[in-house]
Amino acid sequence: MNTSTTSSPIPSGPNGHFLLGALPEYSRNPLEFMSKCARTYGDVVYLTGLIPSYLLNHPDFIEEMLVTQHQHLIKSQLGKITKPLLGNGLLLSEGDFWKQQRHLIQPAFHRSRIAAYAEVMIDYTQRMLNTWLPGEIRDIHHEMMNLTLMIAAKTFFGSEIESDVDVIDRAVKAMLEHFDRRSTNLLLFLLPDYVPTLGNLRFRHAIKQLDTVVYRLIQERRSSGKQTDDLLSMLLYLQAEDGTRMSDRQVRDEVNTFLLAGHETTALTLSWAWYLLSKHPEVEAKLLAELQTVLMGRSPSLSDLPRLRYTEWIILETMRLYPPVWAIPRTVAQDCEIAGYPIKAGHGLVASPWVVHRDPRWFSNPDQFNPDRWNNDFAKNLPTFAYFPFGGGSRICIGKAFAMMEACLLLAAIASTYRIRLVSQEAVKPWASLTLRPKQAIKVCLNRR
């Protein structure tokens, strides 16, 4: 790959379909398509289509997109598919409103505030482990999704939620299916939400049910006046500088956003970690040695995390190879210049952690699962945006510390109790939907240590 030159006003890229541009080839296999584009055309690739877009493959250009030029950009229009569920929550809101909300909510995710959630994480992991039977075969991705959803529901809503988890689960799944259907089918993408297709009706029904639960919880909490440690309380009692509090509708949008953004991504990280560990027993052996030395047979707790360094490297290395958010898109709101090219309003930009995390300029033997590479000052010496599983700049993931704590604690707690082995050695392929999911179930055999 070569850094681009600015001799032409448009960088090179694949020719594509006369009308749809890169879309047909992209839709067939987005990961392969983007990697091939980067290999063939270099650090900036022009993708023709209904919305001409630029694929940015160099950390410096990604920094321009996420940091130095971000004021000219907005979130991608793809987000509109998720609007009925996420509304004006942090993930989709823009401008001064987003800034005010982010400023208000940020402290709720500070390390010191989320520390209390470590116990919930371990408690729910133990409950899951109590339901596992030695020798059983389970889909580990399904297990991780259930576990992180229970943890999210508990930490966001407190104790009242157990009986409502099914409704939340259905709404989140309906939303993910809705997104998959519409983002991979141009006709469905262009079709407005109010057209009563079966998919749209199902999606609306799931949102309605979730709204019933969320608004009830908001009402109950408001009328009880109880202030607890969970995120719902924090959202209800946060005050803007002018003394105003969030409306029920805004609390609902934020809560839905946390539910969606905050559980599937972590579940995917863990699912891919189990897959990689099962394929690399030498890494698993080192993990076990660390767990035995640090934990000496007991459950992990928050205070163990600084000493569970190898555990953390496994999570970092898993997210390098299988970044849950595999592409970060933006839409250009005002003409600007990125990577030396003039870029027009309305055009798209994409940075892909999947592509950049496998670039041999930053990671030697990039396809190899090697947690040891994170030893010493490896991360400090990387260009800032050579590794960006949580995005970056002002819109960096607000749940980064929460997710890292959860992933490390759960990995440590489960790995010290069970040996998890793939039932089949057949490769599990990643599927690039809204997030990077396993294409098929990850069937594993559970053996007690």
**Which residue ranges make up the annotated binding site?**
397
Question: Restricting to residues 194-253, which ones interact with ligand HEM according to CB under 6 A?
Answer: none
Binding to ligand HEM by residue 87, rule CB under 6 A?
no
Q: What are phi and psi of 419, to 5 degrees?
A: -95, 125
CB of 353 to ligand HEM, least distance (A): 7
Considering only residues 65, 174, 336, 403, which one is a binding residue for ligand HEM as defined by CB under 6 A?
Answer: 403
Question: Restricting to residues 256-285, which ones interact with ligand HEM according to CB under 6 A?
Answer: 257-258, 261-262, 265-266, 269
CB of 145 to ligand HEM, least distance (A): 13
Considering only residues 14, 158, 371, 399, which one is a binding residue for ligand HEM as defined by CB under 6 A?
Answer: 399
Considering only residues 61, 274, 390, 418, which one is a binding residue for ligand HEM as defined by CB under 6 A?
Answer: 390
CB of 424 to ligand HEM, least distance (A): 26
∠ at Cα 390 (432, 443), nearest 5°?
A: 45
Nearer to ligand HEM, 258 or 369 (CB): 258
Considering only residues 36, 70, 102, 202, which one is a binding residue for ligand HEM as defined by CB under 6 A?
Answer: 102
Tell me the residue nearest to ligand HEM as measured from the CB. 399
Considering only residues 91, 217, 343, 413, which one is a binding residue for ligand HEM as defined by CB under 6 A?
Answer: 91
Nearer to ligand HEM, 90 or 218 (CB): 90
Binding to ligand HEM by residue 118, rule CB under 6 A?
no
Residues 6+ apart with CB under 8 A from 435: 264, 265, 268, 324, 325, 326
Nearer to ligand HEM, 77 or 202 (CB): 77
Residue 123, number of CB atoms within 10 A of its CB: 13
Question: Restricting to residues 319-338, which ones interact with ligand HEM according to CB under 6 A?
Answer: 324-325, 328
Nearer to ligand HEM, 48 or 330 (CB): 330
Nearer to ligand HEM, 352 or 416 (CB): 352
**Which residue ranges make up the annotated binding site for heme?**
397
Binding string, residues 37-76; x marks residues near ligand HEM by CB under 6 A: ----------------------------------------
Binding site for ligand HEM (CB under 6 A): 90-91, 102, 257-258, 261-262, 265-266, 269, 324-325, 328, 389-391, 395, 397-399, 402-403
